[in-house]
Chain A
Amino acid sequence: MKVLVPVKRVVDFNVKVRVKSDGTGVELANVKMSMNPFDEIAVEEALRLKEAGKATEVVVVSIGPAQASETIRTGLAMGADRGILVKAEGNVEPLAVAKILKAVADAEKPGLIILGKQAIDDDSNQTGQMLAALLGWSQATFASKLEVEGSDFKVTREVDGGLQTVKLKGPAIVTTDLRLNEPRYASLPNIMKAKKKPIDDKNASDYGIDLTPHLEVLKTAEPPGRKGGVKVKDVAELVSKLKTEAGVL
């Protein structure tokens, strides 16, 4: 079974983003970029399936600017076998990403596609579910455990009330939650080896998919600020303030 893992290049999770003063977006110049953390978990899970003999090949695919090849290299350095870069400039919405991924999946015919549950830049939490819809496949979002059962899958999902376990008919889409695994760090020899692994270069136009956004971004603004309050000296003062000043007790 081949496993396809889409990965996204995003602003590193440690960076506190700044909104541009003209309201056209957030400042991306000279900001550290990394693989979306949930996608790292997805790559790790695919690699574990391969190491357990359940998967034969792990292919990472990224849709974005030319620099997204660095994100693919990160996946290859972790241990993925090869990469596919689909170049697309500007704001590519989850629906368009899902359409491109469908075309990639049609060509690659994976038995499983593992995606991060959401990208930490636009926080949309859509691509995996949309891809499942377009392919007509089963889906399990927010996975904290994934088991292969022949060509089917048993997935434990993190839901609002606790955990839910479902069985998916393969081929299937799984999106990762935080507790699925802890991604490995790429070792230096593997980083060197990754430089020789193949990355297939494509363009979004190769797939004939319209990338025109459906959502027009009118502006991007700072959220209303929240000022820090006061420090209290002890529990007695805290209780007194909550009771008389804040009125919440």
Chain B
Amino acid sequence: MTTLLIAEHDNASIKDATNKTLTAAAALGADVHVLVAGENAKAAADAAAKLAGVKKVLLADNAAYAHDLAEPLAALIVSLAPGYDAFVAPATSRFKNVMPRVAALLDVMQVSEIIKVVSPDTFERPIYAGNAIQTVKSKDAKKVITVRTSTFAAAGEGGSAPIENAAAAADPGLSSFLGEEVAKSDRPELTSAKIIVSGGRAMQSRENFAKYIEPLADKLGAGVGASRAAVDAGYAPNDWQVGQTGKVVAPELYVAIGISGAIQHLAGMKDSKVIVAINKDEDAPIFQVADYGLVADLYQAVPELTDALGKLGK
């Protein structure tokens, strides 16, 4: 019995999502090997080898794995399948894309976005935007699982696993990478941020996000999020979206500004430890989940809050 964890990384380092997924993978009770597939990804493999409890790291270093293309990465994982009983990956966009392809090639049903390992074959997962929690038992001999990382603690370091090279699988050659627009930001990533400041439709413009939300976020050392309404309106880029179909987050502090609180948004943030809502509509549903609600005009309250934090030495 061995579990293969497929790592989220940027070739230079391992992403926090991998540490959290390791906690879920270890709960299956078997040895855990980690697959690092990328190009020039030795540094990421070295980092994976240091994770506590990892028995072996497989490094597949090949240009075919440079750009998250689903077809070659799925082929690689399937080529390793005979040695493993479970394939576990974080539910990031990379693995939401590739893991169901792996599952179909292995003729098994993926268990998507688990939030709890009940036993090695039984898991809890949210359905209906988190309005119900299903407990499912997989009858497949090989398990393919994606993990909702916001509900698992990050595994720490302390291991020194050997690193082996994994041979690249034949690239099906079905797709090719043309380009990407990746936002460069010094702010923490949403899925690992301790604090998140999010803006909604009430922000009214991209400029207002920059003028009100971002200074508050920077004062708090926070990541910046947005509701779907704000992203659809073009006030914020798509990678800021928090919700059922965006990113699911669970920071220590979530500050929702001008967000009404549609169930689809709540699905992405209601596991946050402390929720603050600032909205001028006192009946906004966001107040039903907020620990601290402030009914106020955000254009006054947010600069005031930013100032007050400045005075605290933030």
Q: Which of A130, A133, A139, A228 contacts B288 (CB 8 A)?
A: A228
A22 at the A/B interface (Cβ < 8 Å)?
no
B215 at the A/B interface (Cβ < 8 Å)?
no
Chain A contact surface mostly: mixed
Q: Report how far A198 CA is from B277 CA in the complex, Å.
A: 51
B287 touches A228 (CB 8 A): yes
Contact (A215, B136) CB under 8 Å given A11-B128, A164-B67: yes
A195 at the A/B interface (Cβ < 8 Å)?
no
CB-based nearest A residue for B97? A141
Within 8 A of B (CB), among A151-167: 154, 157-167
Q: Which of B109, B128, B172, B289 contacts A226 (CB 8 A)?
A: B289
B110 touches A126 (CB 8 A): yes
Within 8 A of B (CB), among A114-135: 117-118, 120-134
A49-57, A76-84, A186-194, A238-246: which one contacts chain B?
A238-246
A140 at the A/B interface (Cβ < 8 Å)?
yes
Residues of A contacting B182 in the complex (Cβ-Cβ under 8 angstroms): 161-163
A196 at the A/B interface (Cβ < 8 Å)?
no
Contact with A along B303-314 (1 / 0, CB 8 A): 011001100101
A107 at the A/B interface (Cβ < 8 Å)?
no
B66, chain A: closest CB distance, angstroms: 12
Q: Which of A16, A161, A246, A248 contacts B263 (CB 8 A)?
A: A16
B86, chain A: closest CB distance, angstroms: 14
Residues of A contacting B70 in the complex (Cβ-Cβ under 8 angstroms): 129, 132, 139, 141
Q: Which of A157, A162, A178 contacts B228 (CB 8 A)?
A: A178
A208 at the A/B interface (Cβ < 8 Å)?
no
Contact (A120, B129) CB under 8 Å given A162-B238, A215-B136: yes
Q: Which of B97, B129, B173 contacts A129 (CB 8 A)?
A: B97
A158 touches B126 (CB 8 A): no
Contact with B along A223-244 (1 / 0, CB 8 A): 1001011111011101101110
- Count A interface residues, CB 8 Å: 82
Q: Report how far A243 CA is from B308 CA in the complex, Å.
A: 12
B161-169, B206-214, B239-247: which one contacts chain A?
B239-247
Contact with B along A75-107 (1 / 0, CB 8 A): 000000000000000000111001000000000
Q: For chain B, which range describes its interface: under 10, 10 to 19, 20 to 34, or 35 or more residues?
A: 35 or more
Q: Report how far A137 CA is from B71 CA in the complex, Å.
A: 9
Residues of A contacting B104 in the complex (Cβ-Cβ under 8 angstroms): 95, 98, 129-131, 133-134
A215 touches B135 (CB 8 A): no
Q: Report how far A38 CA is from B244 CA in the complex, Å.
A: 12
Q: Which of B74, B174, B231, B292 contacts A232 (CB 8 A)?
A: B292
B131 touches A16 (CB 8 A): yes
| Chain A residues close to B by CB (< 8 Å) | 11, 13, 16-17, 19, 26, 38, 93-95, 98, 117-118, 120-134, 136-142, 144, 154, 157-169, 172, 177-179, 213-223, 226, 228-232, 234-236, 238-239, 241-243, 246, 248-249
| Chain B residues close to A by CB (< 8 Å) | 67-71, 74, 92-94, 96-105, 107-113, 122, 126-140, 172-183, 191, 195, 228, 231-232, 237-239, 244-245, 247, 252-253, 263-264, 270, 273-276, 282, 287-296, 301, 304-305, 308-309, 312, 314
